[in-house]
């Protein structure tokens, strides 16, 4: 108890300096948390992927289409339970700044493959019966103020023209890791329109989403699917949904690495700030440490006082930084929702923040603690006065 009182007394000696140090640590912990959350947001699609879903695309590149009749041959592969055709539509609402993910999908099978998308049965039925209907995520509806029954017109980029749709359903994610910023509409609507406007582009799809009976058979089924179309005019590449998502992240790997390096640099900044404060505190109290030694307190006890103060400063700063991370992430995530639909602070990030602050507290206190424990009584007493 006496030790705890000593630590609190020491914290209150230089209130402004300690307050600024705590604030500096809090801001560093906050920055570290936001950077780690940004990395998590980059990998959100990977984390949300399912082991029982495969994606088949053109072996050359995703921008090259596949014939729609491939779906029947894929269904014939052992282990395949569901096949859904899909195409990235790439439309915008009014102008380019209103960008969001939008896909044309085979709506007869899509929601069987993605049970994490929850929508009311009556809305789902209305959507399935309206060829020009669309389903939107709850966050997308909130962003534009859309509601069921509203008319929406997308301006095509990959598929030119104005595409009129009616909002028939709004889906919610099964959990917070589900992207609620997408718009989904009927692939048949896209294909039938292309038959009239661009016949050469009709009856083609961008990719196939494949449901399989077990994730343990993913590699075997992927090879079987690709072998069916070997040496054809449109060879395929089939991979797990996770690998498919990772292929996009690999394109921006340098950015992710840079963010991770900066987050590590932030920890070093925290260490520098805390170490400077503790060094100053220990240097100013060398005379007191000598007096305590003369009264019979050992070097280990003096080291405990210094280390306790260092950990207290780091702990308070860490707690404040962690507390600020959640509202800061919510505000930042709202601002960048167009690019990061899922921007949430994970338990792992908070744990890393705490570990980083603890490590900083220990590292910053080691040198001053050792110095205090080895202080010579006579030498330190000369400094008094």
Kindly state whether residues 260 and 291 are assigned to the same domain: yes
Least confident of 109-118, 161-170, 217-226, 263-272: 263-272
pLDDT at 220: 95
Question: Tens digit of pLDDT for each residue in 36-60?
Answer: 888 887 777 667 778 899 999 999 9
Burial class (CB in 10 A: 0-12, 13-18, 19+), 144: middle
- Residue 358 — very low, low, confident or very high, per pLDDT cuts 50/70/90? confident
Kindly state whether residues 120 and 203 are assigned to the same domain: yes
Q: Give the CA diameter of the chain.
A: 98
User: Among the three residues 204, 234, 264, which one is the final residue of a domain in this structure?
Assistant: 234
Q: Measuring CA to CA, which residue among 99, 144, 139, 133 is closest to residue 117?
A: 139
Distances (CA, A) of 44 to 221, 248, 253, 301: 25, 12, 15, 48
pTM: 0.76
Kindly state whether residues 95 and 39 are assigned to the same domain: no
Q: Per the domain annotation, does 55 fall within a domain?
A: no
**pLDDT: is 373 or 15 the higher one?**
15
CB-CB contact of 22 with 317 (8 Å): yes
Q: Per the domain annotation, does 239 fall within a domain?
A: no
Q: Per the domain annotation, does 329 fall within a domain?
A: yes
Kindly state whether residues 178 and 153 are assigned to the same domain: yes
Kindly state whether residues 261 and 227 are assigned to the same domain: no
Q: Per the domain annotation, does 84 fall within a domain?
A: yes
Kindly state whether residues 106 and 223 are assigned to the same domain: yes
Kindly state whether residues 263 and 328 are assigned to the same domain: yes
Q: Per the domain annotation, does 330 fall within a domain?
A: yes
- Residue 332 — very low, low, confident or very high, per pLDDT cuts 50/70/90? confident
Kindly state whether residues 31 and 64 are assigned to the same domain: no
Q: Per the domain annotation, does 50 fall within a domain?
A: no
Residue 310 is part of which domain span? 2-44+252-381
Kindly state whether residues 103 and 40 are assigned to the same domain: no
Span 282-299, mean pLDDT?
65
Q: Per the domain annotation, does 51 fall within a domain?
A: no
CB-CB contact of 311 with 377 (8 Å): no
Q: Per the domain annotation, does 49 fall within a domain?
A: no
pLDDT at 120: 94
- Paired tokens of 104: 């044309």
Kindly state whether residues 33 and 72 are assigned to the same domain: no
Q: Measuring CA to CA, which residue among 211, 217, 271 is closest to residue 241?
A: 211
Kindly state whether residues 81 and 192 are assigned to the same domain: yes
Kindly state whether residues 176 and 279 are assigned to the same domain: no
Say how far apart CA 339 and CA 100 lie, in whole Å. Answer: 8
User: Among the three residues 193, 208, 234, which one is the final residue of a domain in this structure?
Assistant: 234
Say how far apart CA 361 and CA 318 lie, in whole Å. Answer: 10
Total domain count, the chain? 2
């Amino acid at each position: 108890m006496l030790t705890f009182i000593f630590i609190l007394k020491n914290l209150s000696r230089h209130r402004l300096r300690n307050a600024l140090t705590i604030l500096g640590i809090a801001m560093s912990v906050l920055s570290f948390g936001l950077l780690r959350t940004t990395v998590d947001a980059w990998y959100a699609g990977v984390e949300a992927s399912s082991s029982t879903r495969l994606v088949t695309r053109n072996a050359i590149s995703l921008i090259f289409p596949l014939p729609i009749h491939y779906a029947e041959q894929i269904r014939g592969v052992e282990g395949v339970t569901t096949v859904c055709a899909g195409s990235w539509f790439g439309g915008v609402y009014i102008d380019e700044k209103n960008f969001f993910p939008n896909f044309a999908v085979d709506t007869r099978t899509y929601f069987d493959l993605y049970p994490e998308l929850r929508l009311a049965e009556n809305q789902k039925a209305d959507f399935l019966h309206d060829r020009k209907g669309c389903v939107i995520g709850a966050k997308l509806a909130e962003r534009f103020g859309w509601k069921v029954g509203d008319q929406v017109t997308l301006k095509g980029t990959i598929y030119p023209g104005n595409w009129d749709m009616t909002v028939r359903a709004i889906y919610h994610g099964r959990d917070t890791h589900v992207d609620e910023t997408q718009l989904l509409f009927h692939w048949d609507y896209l294909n039938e329109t292309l038959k009239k406007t661009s016949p050469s582009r009709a009856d083609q799809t961008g990719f196939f989403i494949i449901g399989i009976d077990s994730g343990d058979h993913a590699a075997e089924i992927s090879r079987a699917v690709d072998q069916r179309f070997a040496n054809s005019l449109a060879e395929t590449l089939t991979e797990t949904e996770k690998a498919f998502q990772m292929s996009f992240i690999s394109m921006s790997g340098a950015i992710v690495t840079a963010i991770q390096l900066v987050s590590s640099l932030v920890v070093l900044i925290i260490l520098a700030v805390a170490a400077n404060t503790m060094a100053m505190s220990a240097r100013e109290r060398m005379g007191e440490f000598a007096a305590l030694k003369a009264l019979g307190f050992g070097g280990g006890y003096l080291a405990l006082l210094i280390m306790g103060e260092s950990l207290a400063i780091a702990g308070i700063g860490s707690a404040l930084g962690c507390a600020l991370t959640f509202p800061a992430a919510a505000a930042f995530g709202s601002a960048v929702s167009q690019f990061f639909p899922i921007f949430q602070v994970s338990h792992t990030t908070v744990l890393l923040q705490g570990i980083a602050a603890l490590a900083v507290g220990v590292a910053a206190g080691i040198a001053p603690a050792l110095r205090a424990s080895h202080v010579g009584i006579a030498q330190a007493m000369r400094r008094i006065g």
